Amino acid sequence: MQQRHWQCGVLMLVALLTFGPAAFAKRKPSPRSPANTAGGLSADKSGQFSTTAGLRLHLVADEGDIHISTHESPTVDYRVHLEVRSNDSSAREILDAFSLVARNTPDGVLLFAHTPHHGWGQHLSVTFEVAVPRNYNLDIATQGGNVLVGDIQGRVAIGTNGGNISTGEIDGPARLVTDGGHISVKSAGNDLVATTGGGNITVGPIAGTAVLRTGGGHIRVASIGGAGRLETGGGNISLEHSGSGLIVSTGGGQIDVGEASGLIRARTGGGGIRIVHASGPTELQTGAGNVYLMQVENSVRASTGSGGITAWFGPGAKLTTPCRLAAGQGDIVVYLPKLLPVTVDAQVELGGDHRVIVDPAFPLKVTYGEPDEGSHAVRAAGELNGGGAALVLRTVSGNIRLVLNDSNQEKRQMDLLKMQMDKLRRQLQMDLANMKIPIPPPPQN
């Protein structure tokens, strides 16, 4: 009985959408007669509706590529191009079976396309070309196809089960989801959520918060104004600037972050981590890569299973909580300003050929374990400038070096900082340029 009620409800909805009055319609949809093409048949369905800025285009399709452009006219213009890649007797039947509901609704324009026989998808090619006012909202879903959107000012929600998503500048909040394609966004003026099952995510500047996830592709972002969360199953992650808290994780790729103002938490299963400038608290973890911190101004905790750690504490560094740098198999090198108050506790678990090397300017006491007691540890401890937050350094089988960050070192550090930032910026600009997001053409009715 429930199934019968559900079926009746669906039939009533389809009847309402199909035969109900198209309020405010400027021109009724006008299908074009099928035309012969090389190797098949083609047909167009097109129309135009009067609308108002700030409303919404709701487009739902079983399949097909979708191209959304914008214009200054208070109308929604659409053209649906159909091609059947077959000249057999079923070609016309396939074209006739494709259905399109197009109508005005109180909140905007609805386009609902349906192909009743799923197996026909291998013969039928569908392309939607829609032009909307620039200040318009988008709600788009296709079961299988690419979605291309030009610059737009409204809210954007896009979902596709298997294609790429490419957009120009989006001023409103955006949510972009694909099961397996790439996602490219020229810029986002608000919050952005982008999720793909396995493609790359490439985004220009994001003014708001960002949640970017991919099952295994790379993530490349110019900047994030708010909080950011970037996750990939195994690709690399690159971010030039972060203005707030940042959480980054990858199953085994490289992590590169330029400037980060807030808290940073970064984790990778096997790649390296490089932070150019960290002004907030920092927590880094890698299973088997090197950690490189170029200018640290706050407390940091970093660990690696089989790599080295290099950390430069800048002249403005203020350590209010303990720092801990730990490596399983690798060297730890720390550059400290001469006047930084800190309490050092550095230890190499398996001394042997490994040492703790301390700059003569630092009054630290170095002690060695007794081999006859089974201890080969080498330890250096002491207070600098009256002591302060603890700086704990641990490596199992590597060297530890504590170096004075004098004026020459600071100049070298700033030169390296500039070089690394320029390198990261050039790479991101190249990635953004390679996006090559074309502006969708307006539909030709």
Strand 273-278 with 255-260, pairing: parallel
Q: What is the pLDDT along the chain (445 residues), one digit of tens a residue?
A: 433 333 333 333 333 333 343 333 344 455 554 555 555 788 999 999 999 999 999 999 988 999 999 999 999 999 999 998 766 667 788 888 899 999 999 999 999 999 866 454 457 889 999 999 999 999 999 988 999 999 999 999 999 998 999 999 999 999 999 998 999 999 999 999 999 999 999 999 999 999 999 999 999 999 999 999 999 999 999 999 999 999 999 999 999 998 899 999 999 999 999 998 899 999 999 999 999 998 899 999 999 999 999 999 988 898 989 999 999 999 999 999 988 999 999 999 987 788 999 999 888 999 887 665 556 789 999 999 999 999 999 999 999 999 988 766 666 766 776 777 677 777 777 776 776 666 677 777 6
Tell me how far apart the alpha carbons of residues 401 and 150 are, in angstroms, rounded to a whole number: 53
Quick one: tokens of 54?
A: 């700030």
Of 30, 45, 121, nearest to 84 by C-alpha is: 121
pLDDT at 372: 53
For residue 152, give the DSSP letter.
B
Phi, psi of 415 (to 5 degrees): -65, -45
**Cα dihedral 259, 265, 268, 271 sign:** positive
By the 10 Å C-beta count (0-12 exposed, 13-18 middle, 19+ buried), 114 is classed as: middle
Residue pair 287/269 in contact (Cβ under 8 Å)? The answer is yes
Do 123 and 65 form a contact (C-beta atoms < 8 A)?
A: no
For the chain, the farthest-separated pair of C-alpha atoms sits apart, in whole angstroms, at: 96
Q: Are 371 and 363 in contact (CB under 8 A)?
A: no
Provide the token pair at 183: 């996602």
Q: What is the pLDDT of residue 413?
A: 66
The model carries a pTM of 0.87
**Residue 83 contacts residue 121 (beta carbons within 8 Å):** no
CA 400 to chain centre: 36
How far, in Å, are 313, 333, 385, 387 from residue 364 at the CA level?
18, 16, 11, 11
The residues near 329 (Cβ < 8 Å, ≥ 6 apart) are 305, 306, 307, 395, 396, 397, 398
3-state secondary structure of 107: coil
Q: From start to end of 151-218, where are the E strands?
A: 156-160, 165-170, 174-178, 183-188, 192-196, 201-206, 210-214
Please tell me the distance from the alpha carbon of residue 297 to that of residue 370, in angstroms, as a whole number: 37
Tell me which amino acid residue 21 is: P
Of 368, 362, 364, residue with least CA distance to 335:
362
What pLDDT, on the 0 to 100 scale, is given for residue 221? Answer: 95
Q: Decide: 331 and 401 in contact? Cβ < 8 Å.
A: yes
Please give the backbone phi and psi of residue 203, each rounded to the nearest 5 degrees, phi first: -135, 140
322 close to 388: Cβ distance less than 8 angstroms: no
Kindly report the CA angle at 180 between 59 and 435, in degrees rounded to 5?
80
Predicted confidence at residue 426, as pLDDT, reads 77
- What residue segments make up the domains of the chain, in order of their start? 13-143
CB 331 within 8 A of CB 312: no
Q: Report the distance separating Cα 223 and Cα 243, nearest Å.
A: 8
User: How far apart are the C-alpha atoms of 27 and 40, rounded to whole Å?
Assistant: 29
Residue 142 near residue 161, CB atoms below 8 Å: yes
Contact present, 305 and 282 (Cβ < 8 Å):
no
Q: Which residues of 322-343 are buried (b: 16+ CB within 10 A; e: fewer)?
A: bbbbbbbebbbbbbbbeebebb
